[in-house]
Structure 1
């Protein structure tokens, strides 16, 4: 029997094995011992278990809320210093808290503004992490903060790029660009961007808007843009390149050292 096989079998050899084989055998034995200990502990716990009957009809819950994804979203929000970024854009503390609620809510439970408001009131523990009490806000506040975020989109996107570059420093080389679109179920007559076109969701019976996104080679967003619903990549590429050239004034070598 080879020496390392003997070690795995719990036997001791009189001769030294090759170093790599010996280390592999020791690692395998340690892993085996650890797993065996877990199995033995589980058996002991089961043998000592005490069971009691529970009437499931008598059990009820109240105010149960999600916590795990919210902790991740809140930590990312803080790491990106988004409250400071929004403060620089003129957001009040209440508007900053509303913005976090709206953004994190869309990440965890993507849906409409109305559904996000219901999620915030009924299903999430995020309200307990915010600096401002939003437990009694009305649904209009979610619509209003979405409009405020959109009006500050350019400054927010630029600020995020700088923060992400500081957190993930690396060479900046390639831009990737693509379009998609979404539809309105109503007539959208007062929306200047709503036009008929080829719907990627097969809803050519509805007016559309086109959504453009530019990312770098690692997938980090550079900026986004909204166009008329009948626009295509060739029609918008020139505008995107001009926007990239304009943003070059931000000194990419400083943003991406």
Structure 2
């Protein structure tokens, strides 16, 4: 049976109608009762419905009180769920075993996991982590019990058991590293710190930052594989020179990954020294093979190779595309690459700067000569010492102090162009010099290996941008090292995500993938105060489903999510 509205003229009637089949089996309708005119039933319709419910013996919901429904704020689930699945699948869950033996009553592994995920999802200070936790549904973590002191204590525990933590990380990284040929890249960067107070063993020291400024900072060294996977990091004092850190870092890496049968170390210009070359040549792997290396020659040492490059330069003058050659040097291979377009750009820019400085200097010379001749002019009088100082600082800012030499000892304003230095600079324009002991890589192969070092620079950019490793607000050296360790673990997860997304041809970066998964939310409602809350998750979109598939991670389902509450 059903209700039907019929029309007669301008009036409408409400009828109770039954559907049936006649003897021929054809569907028919018959009116059981006309309830009345629709316009007259408006006020009494509730009575009609109540009467019908009473006749059928069903409860009258019109008289019943509506249930009290409470809604909790939705919490982001998809991003932290994916990171948690990745955490467990890679083997970071082994950290529970490390910290289970400690005296700490807090769940150190869970708190470290929280801080690592926060670095990837919404990097904040430690106090910001607590605010972020109020917006996410962290699997297996009792968010309400976490305090700021708990986070700091877990950082202390991380440093106290750093050796055991490093062993766990090295163990889970071994299956991800190519054991036959592992090209490793080493580089350092500066991390800015805040605060003026000093403490014992302070690693926050003033040094030259990568941005070209003197700042209070720490130095961070990172070793990555040829695939961009970070495998080691270390924090140094902010005034540490890069070159002395290379050998100790390399020895530690070889101790952690002894099964690697071949290592080709690639490092940037700041890490090359004669001491390093001799010591690197003496290092042997567990297999007995020598350590191989590709090191860039720093620009300050290019003058040592000027005579070697004279003949090569003749090839460069007519070159239209990059050319690569090999020269013997001290029992090693010196690989030289020349890029003609970069050389032309560098020479043009230098000549323009020199011309601008000479024009300015000649203007000052003319003004000084006019003043000596008694010619009066507007403005402040120019002195020889003032002109020297102004030209000297302009030359320094243009990085041409080795070519334009200002005579600061002369009483008169004087300068000269060092044409030999200019010729040497133009000889080296567009060139890349690499020192290597690799026996089987072609000269072009050596250059390609070195250019891959740019990938570790991208790793530093991820640390500084997406993960926001700096500025560091911690004061104690142990806390600074713990902060760096947390960011390093976050970088491992980031790189693994990037590798999996890339291999699946997914058009998303890790940060965009996490942003998309963040839209997958957990919802919770309570119907009447005495009832248990009902929890559910929003439906996966097609994009979210593809992200989980690309990352090769299990998707959250309703039963799994309910079991975590």
Superposition TM-score, scaled by structure 2 size: 0.31
> Which residue of 96, 102, 120 maps to 1:86?
96
Deviation at 1:186, TM superposition (A): 0.6
Instruction: Answer whether contact 1:86 1:96 (CA < 8 A) is retained.
Output: yes
Deviation at 1:154, TM superposition (A): 3.7
Asked if 1:141 corresponds to 2:150, the answer is: yes
Give the equivalent residue in structure 1 for 2:135.
Answer: 123
Give the equivalent residue in structure 1 for 2:175.
Answer: 166
Instruction: Answer whether contact 1:161 1:221 (CA < 8 A) is retained.
Output: no
Question: Which has a greater percent of helix?
Answer: 1
Deviation at 1:247, TM superposition (A): 3.1
Give the equivalent residue in structure 2 for 1:196.
Answer: 206
Give the equivalent residue in structure 1 for 2:54.
Answer: none
Bigger CA radius of gyration: 2
**1:23-172 alignment runs, 5 A limit:** 62-89=72-99, 90=101, 94-120=107-133, 122-126=134-138, 129-130=139-140, 132-166=141-175, 171-172=180-181
Instruction: Answer whether contact 2:182 2:260 (CA < 8 A) is retained.
Output: no
Aligned length: 188
CA distance in 2 between partners of 1:82 and 1:241 (Å): 24
Q: 1:216 to 1:66 in 2, by over 3 A?
A: same
Instruction: Answer whether contact 2:207 2:217 (CA < 8 A) is retained.
Output: yes
Deviations 1:8-44 (A, max 9, x none): xxxxxxxxxxxxxxxxxxxxxxxxxxxxxxxxxxxxx
CA distance in 1 between partners of 2:212 and 2:195 (Å): 16
> Which residue of 204, 208, 212 maps to 2:217?
208
Instruction: Answer whether contact 1:173 1:216 (CA < 8 A) is retained.
Output: yes
Question: Which has a greater percent of strand?
Answer: 2
Q: 1:152 to 1:201 in 2, by over 3 A?
A: farther
Larger relative contact order, structure 1 or 2 (CA cutoff 8 Å, min sep 6): 2
CA distance in 1 between partners of 2:181 and 2:117 (Å): 28
Deviation at 1:235, TM superposition (A): 2.6
Superposition TM-score, scaled by structure 1 size: 0.64
Deviation at 1:229, TM superposition (A): 0.1
Deviations 1:191-233 (A, max 9, x none): 52111001235662x4211111111111222211000101232
Q: 1:168 to 1:138 in 2, by over 3 A?
A: same
Structure 2 unmatched ranges of 5 or more: 1-70, 262-565
Instruction: Answer whether contact 1:102 1:146 (CA < 8 A) is retained.
Output: no
Deviation at 1:73, TM superposition (A): 0.5
Q: 1:189 to 1:241 in 2, by over 3 A?
A: same
Deviation at 1:175, TM superposition (A): 1.0
Give the equivalent residue in structure 1 for 2:451.
Answer: none
Give the equivalent residue in structure 1 for 2:237.
Answer: 228
Instruction: Answer whether contact 1:117 1:142 (CA < 8 A) is retained.
Output: no
Q: CA RMSD in A?
A: 2.7
Deviation at 1:149, TM superposition (A): 2.0
Q: 1:87 to 1:188 in 2, by over 3 A?
A: farther
